[in-house]
Structure 1
Amino acid sequence: MGNDVTNFNDVIKNSFLNEYMFGNLAALDILLGLLTAFMAGSFIYGVYKFTYKGVLYSPSFNITLLVMTMITSLVIMTISTNVVLSLGMVGALSIVRFRTAIKDPLDVVFMFWAIAAGISSGAGLYLLTLLGAVIIGAVIVVLSRKKHTDTLYLLVIHYTEEANDEVKRELQKLDYTLKSKVVRKNMMEITAEIRLKIDNTAFMNKLGDLDGVQDVSLVQYNGDYAV
């Protein structure tokens, strides 16, 4: 009885290994997968460059998105032909750590988009890859071109202690939130977040004309960036 069970288990294992462990991938499928990944990656490249609104555009990061799409497709095609290799690669990739800091959350979206496009193209879902790229790209373009009703700015003022009351009186006329205040002997520095619906900076002249105010700076605030 034990031999029968062992033989049956061996048959199941052998049939599984023979059918799923080693597979063949036609050259045409490889070319189509890589070509689809390249097309999707190129589209992602163009959308990223067109919609980028950060401080400094990085061409190397954008090229990385394109190459990442093709590499992911190649990885998926590799593990789809070998079950054992796929399990080993999952373990190997689980120890990979990315040390590069991603400051803009939208960059993470593009990275996941590139990976998803590579996975779908490597799996042979060419129509899903291209159609999904077009739809996602259209959504990103539309949302990035949407004009906001107001804009956030950071207002930095350096002034003497004698001008404290006058500065507060002028700030009360604005929609502001105090972010920080630094006192150095007789000098003060405040940083306030303000919202402007239009590009009207006349209040800066009024603040600059106050006695005791040394300088007034205004920078646009966008997440972690000041431009």
Structure 2
Amino acid sequence: MNNEVFNFSDIFKKGFLNSATTDLSAMKVVLTLGLTFVIGLFIYVIYKKTFKGVLFSKSFNISLIAIAMVTSLVIMAVTSNIVLSLGMVGALSIVRFRTAIKDPIDIVFMFWAISSGIVTGAGLYTLAIFGSLVIGLILVMFNNVSMSENAYLLVVNCHDNKAEEEVIKKIKDEIKKFNIKSKTVAKDNIEMTLELRVKNNETSFVNTVSNINGVNNAVLISYNGDYVS
């Protein structure tokens, strides 16, 4: 009769390895990926509807769907195999993202897509659906709220100091908030760049400024802090 002696370490290892792997059914994989795709498509539509930048990037918008689905695959693999999850933690720790994100709202959509993939991959379908609906509703609601003031840059080319004074006087009468960003003086030409806050997109004052004697031209540019359009 053979007497086998198991210590605590052996029992722990066997029990751990036996419970480390969980089989994934094909139906669950299809259901999870299908739901993730639908949520990713919902994110796609919300991003396109609320986009207010200069150049719309369709590839970035499509990548939101891919990010959600890839994340869902990773989470399903992690939750089904504990040993594999430990290896993935080490592998993902060396990943670095170098793409510059200019608009902070793009980061919000990226985290939304990643979070949706995590939640659906973990099988929390109800949370993924209702969470995405609430986030989408909030983003659309704030997008539809019109801003009372819009930022612009006004570039004016004047012939002499008298014309410059007339321009500043007219701007003071029409605009409450403005400041001079730059001023370039050359022979027979003075170029000024002013940052303005305009209510309700009322831009008719530009026509008045351009009609001042000594003003060669006046250009109004939409200003978004990081870039102009």
SS of corresponding position for 1:96: coil
Q: Which residue of 2 aligns with 1:44?
A: 43
User: Does the alignment pair 1:134 with 2:136?
Assistant: no
Residues paired across the two proteins, number: 222
Alpha-carbon distance in structure 1 between the residues aligned to 2:187 and 2:74:
62
User: Does the alignment pair 1:189 with 2:181?
Assistant: no
Identical residues among aligned pairs (%): 48
Alpha-carbon distance in structure 1 between the residues aligned to 2:51 and 2:157:
33
Alpha-carbon distance in structure 2 between the residues aligned to 1:187 and 1:77:
66
Deviations 1:141-199 (A, max 9, x none): 11101112121111111223433322322232222122223334553322222112133
Q: Which residue of 1 aligns with 2:9?
A: 9
Q: CA RMSD in A?
A: 1.9
What one-letter code is carried by the residue in structure 2 that aligns with 1:222? Answer: N
Structure 1 moving runs of 4+ over 6 Å: none
Q: Which residue of 2 aligns with 1:67?
A: 66
Deviation of 1:207 after TM superposition, in Å, equals 1.9
Structure 2: unaligned runs, 5 residues or longer: none
- TM-score normalised to structure 2 length: 0.88
Alpha-carbon distance in structure 1 between the residues aligned to 2:190 and 2:91:
54
Alpha-carbon spacing, 1:10–1:189, altered in 2? closer, same or farther (3 Å): farther
Q: Which residue of 1 aligns with 2:82?
A: 83
Alpha-carbon distance in structure 2 between the residues aligned to 1:184 and 1:91:
61
- TM-score normalised to structure 1 length: 0.89
Alpha-carbon distance in structure 1 between the residues aligned to 2:135 and 2:204:
41
Q: Which residue of 2 aligns with 1:205?
A: 207
Asked if the contact 1:157/1:217 (under 8 Å) is kept, the reply is: yes
Within-5 A mapping of 1:151-190: 151-162=150-161, 163-173=163-173, 174=175, 175-190=177-192
Q: What is the aligned counterpart of 1:220 among 209, 217, 222?
A: 222
Q: Which residue of 1 aligns with 2:118?
A: 119
Asked if the contact 2:149/2:201 (under 8 Å) is kept, the reply is: no
What one-letter code is carried by the residue in structure 2 that aligns with 1:50? Answer: K
Q: Which residue of 2 aligns with 1:110?
A: 109
SS of corresponding position for 1:188: strand
SS of corresponding position for 1:206: helix
Deviates more, 1:176-185 or 1:119-128: 176-185
Asked if the contact 1:54/1:225 (under 8 Å) is kept, the reply is: no
Alpha-carbon distance in structure 2 between the residues aligned to 1:225 and 1:114:
26
Deviations 1:25-57 (A, max 9, x none): 111211111111011101111111112121121
Alpha-carbon distance in structure 2 between the residues aligned to 1:12 and 1:199:
70
Deviation of 1:91 after TM superposition, in Å, equals 2.2
What one-letter code is carried by the residue in structure 2 that aligns with 1:216? Answer: A
